[in-house]
């Protein structure tokens, strides 16, 4: 069968009408957003992949860059356009410019899918079989690239939807990328099964689909495996959600009110083992907050530790200069200071700031001059427990969290999701934190300014939470963990290696270009 015959055999109406194919890809990308919180329609993941393949398998290789871009456009326009709220409402930027920047952000992110699909076309040429075999590998490598290039945007990975899905049991073994891999394999298998069925190869069709469904059947049982050892001694926990309006967060005139808010919320909980205030709950640097820190230390019970977000200013030996860090510190029966390593572009630092500073309000946000913290920082200490903290965006990096959690009994993340208003962004952020708990087999304690503040157990399930946009205190218990999950030991490398092996061995001399 020639390559031209292959394309003709696989042609669908979606390819005969260019605008219809483009629309299908955009819809397929948008369907992926529905797999995540707050919609949680995880089963749409393979459906999305199936729709993508309907359009792309018969397409010429030169068309795949554009196909990938349309797919990414659908995903990020629906799943990440909440950045508009940060730019417009909190960035002092006019609506037209905020819309323009949001559009550029979405279009830029979509280029990751475009680049992955372009590479897919280069490797697979005209062969439908090669394209089907390579698709999961290309998708995973595209996700991986997006997770670190230009600081990375490790958001909206298909596997994250399975915090409540049947593939959750794979997460401690393979991490989120492994779950994503099997979601894409399932979509590929569904396409291949249909293709074989139409060619009267029904036994082969059933076998392909059956093999793809095995992990969906086995993974729920795997979720009952205890990869880590959970202590039977509870740690009492209290987290304060101040719900401080973003508009006054950094206003010196409201400093006293903010501190009083958190002190009042903590008033009945000073003897709790572990107390948590959110990101930059103390909105002045540690060298200015001495009296506040002393007051907190005096109020704490003998065996109590309070951990709070606080900016840090001082001389850094690493960069040999004075600098700011977005930090978190432990006070009381414990200690330690952690400086954020994964900074948010424009929110915490401004790329090309000598050019961009002053152009629009969004490039001059308060506290947007932080420096990156050093690598391999020690966990915080709290009542004899090693607590590994992650500040806001850091919890989205799967390998970063897994490797840094090895010596910790508890995980902790603080955030100020007030930047994103009542959008779906904070709910996605909570789901990402749940996936990190599931991957590491550890409790994740989450403290936020305006929600969602929660206790997440080692299975990624929420045991306690308080609603968004309320000033409240969460109380409950957490349990420390020892040992490591397989994913904590290997990270994403086994999945990435499998993807690389597929690419190396599914070459022209292995599967002829004419195979279809």
Condensed to tens digits (0 to 9), the pLDDT of residues 443-472 reads: 999 999 998 999 999 999 999 999 999 999
pLDDT at 262: 98
pLDDT at 419: 84
Cα 404 from Cα 61, distance rounded (Å): 41
Asked about 291 being catalytic, the answer comes back as: no
249, 340, 342, 459: the active-site residue: 340
Collect all residues with Cβ–Cβ distance below 8 Å to 100 and sequence separation of at least 6. none
Collect all residues with Cβ–Cβ distance below 8 Å to 335 and sequence separation of at least 6. 380, 381
pLDDT at 86: 86
pLDDT at 257: 96
Ranges of each domain in the chain: 13-225+492-506, 229-313+324-340+377-484
Contact 142, 158 (CB under 8 A): no
DSSP letter at 510 equals T
Contact 36, 79 (CB under 8 A): yes
Query: Rounded to 5, what percent of the chain is helix, strand, coil?
Result: 50, 15, 30
Cα 124 from Cα 463, distance rounded (Å): 46
Cα 55 from Cα 70, distance rounded (Å): 11
Cα 431 from Cα 444, distance rounded (Å): 12
Q: Please indicate, yes or no, whether the overall pTM of this predicted structure exceeds 0.75.
A: yes
Q: Which of 61, 64, 73, 80 is nearest to 23 (CA)?
A: 73
Residues in the chain predicted with pLDDT less than 50, given as ranges, are 1-10, 513-516
Cα 128 from Cα 374, distance rounded (Å): 47
3-state secondary structure of 338: strand
Asked about 340 being catalytic, the answer comes back as: yes
Q: Which of 279, 230, 240, 232 is nearest to 261 (CA)?
A: 240
126, 279, 394, 439: the active-site residue: 279
3-state secondary structure of 188: helix
Q: Which of 181, 196, 190, 195 is nearest to 209 (CA)?
A: 190
Contact 292, 282 (CB under 8 A): yes
Residues shown for the chain: 516
Contact 238, 276 (CB under 8 A): yes
Name beta bridge partners: 456.
444, 462
pLDDT at 366: 62
Look up the CATH superfamily of 229-313+324-340+377-484. Answer: Carbon-nitrogen hydrolase (3.60.110.10)
Cα 506 from Cα 188, distance rounded (Å): 16
Exposure pattern of 133-147 as b/e (b: 16+ CB <10 Å)? bbbbbbbbbbbbebb
Name beta bridge partners: 238.
275, 475
3-state secondary structure of 426: helix
Question: What separation in angstroms does the CA of 367 have from each of 251, 281, 283, 313?
Answer: 12, 13, 10, 12
Cα 430 from Cα 468, distance rounded (Å): 11
Asked about 459 being catalytic, the answer comes back as: no
249, 342, 348, 392: the active-site residue: 392
């Amino acid at each position: 069968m020639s390559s031209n015959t292959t394309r003709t055999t696989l042609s669908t109406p979606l390819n005969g009408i260019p605008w219809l194919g483009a629309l299908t890809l955009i819809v397929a990308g948008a369907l992926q957003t529905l797999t995540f919180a707050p919609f949680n329609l995880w089963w749409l993941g393979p459906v999305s992949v199936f729709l993508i393949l309907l359009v792309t398998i018969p397409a010429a290789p030169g068309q795949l860059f554009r196909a990938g871009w349309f797919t990414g456009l659908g995903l990020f326009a629906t799943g990440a356009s909440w950045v508009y709220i940060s730019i417009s409402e909190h960035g002092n930027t006019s609506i037209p410019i905020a819309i323009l920047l949001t559009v550029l952000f979405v279009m830029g992110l979509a280029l990751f899918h475009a680049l992955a699909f372009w590479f897919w076309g280069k490797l697979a040429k005209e062969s439908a079989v090669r394209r089907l075999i390579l698709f999961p590998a290309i998708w995973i490598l595209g996700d991986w690239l997006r997770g670190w290039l230009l600081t990375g945007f490790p958001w909206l990975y298909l596997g994250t939807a399975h915090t409540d899905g049947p593939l959750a049991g794979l997460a401690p073994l393979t991490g989120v990328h492994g779950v994503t891999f099997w979601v894409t394999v399932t979509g590929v298998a569904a396409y291949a099964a249909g293709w074989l069925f139409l060619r009267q190869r029904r036994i082969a069709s059933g076998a392909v689909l059956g093999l793809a469904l095995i992990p969906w059947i086995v993974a729920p049982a795997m979720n009952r495996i205890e990869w880590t050892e959970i202590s039977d001694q509870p740690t009492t926990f209290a987290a304060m959600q101040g719900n401080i309006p973003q508009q006054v967060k950094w206003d010196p005139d409201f400093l006293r009110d903010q501190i009083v808010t958190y002190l009042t919320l903590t008033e009945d909980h000073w003897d709790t083992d572990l107390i948590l205030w959110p990101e930059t709950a103390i909105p002045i640097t540690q060298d200015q907050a001495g009296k506040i820190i002393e007051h907190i230390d005096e109020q704490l019970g003998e065996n109590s530790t309070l951990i709070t977000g606080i900016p840090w200013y001082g001389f850094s030996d690493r960069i040999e200069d004075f600098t700011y860090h977005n930090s978190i510190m432990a006070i009381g029966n414990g200690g330690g200071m952690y400086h954020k390593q994964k900074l948010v572009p424009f929110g915490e630092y401004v790329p090309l700031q000598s050019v961009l500073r002053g152009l629009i309000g969004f490039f001059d946000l308060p506290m947007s001059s932080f420096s990156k913290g050093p690598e391999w920082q020690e966990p915080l200490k709290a009542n004899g427990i090693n607590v590994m903290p992650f500040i806001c965006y850091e919890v989205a990096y799967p390998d970063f969290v897994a490797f840094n959690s090895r010596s910790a009994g508890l995980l902790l993340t603080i955030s100020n999701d007030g930047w994103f208003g009542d959008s779906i962004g904070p709910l996605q952020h909570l789901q990402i934190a749940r996936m990190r708990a599931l991957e590491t087999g550890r409790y994740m304690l989450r403290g936020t300014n305006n929600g969602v503040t929660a206790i997440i157990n080692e299975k990624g399930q929420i045991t306690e939470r308080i609603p968004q946009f309320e000033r409240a205190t969460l109380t409950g218990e957490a349990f420390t963990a020892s040992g490591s999950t397989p994913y904590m030991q290997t990270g994403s490398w086994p999945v990435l290696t499998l993807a690389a092996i597929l690419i190396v061995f599914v070459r022209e001399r292995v599967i002829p270009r004419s195979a279809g």
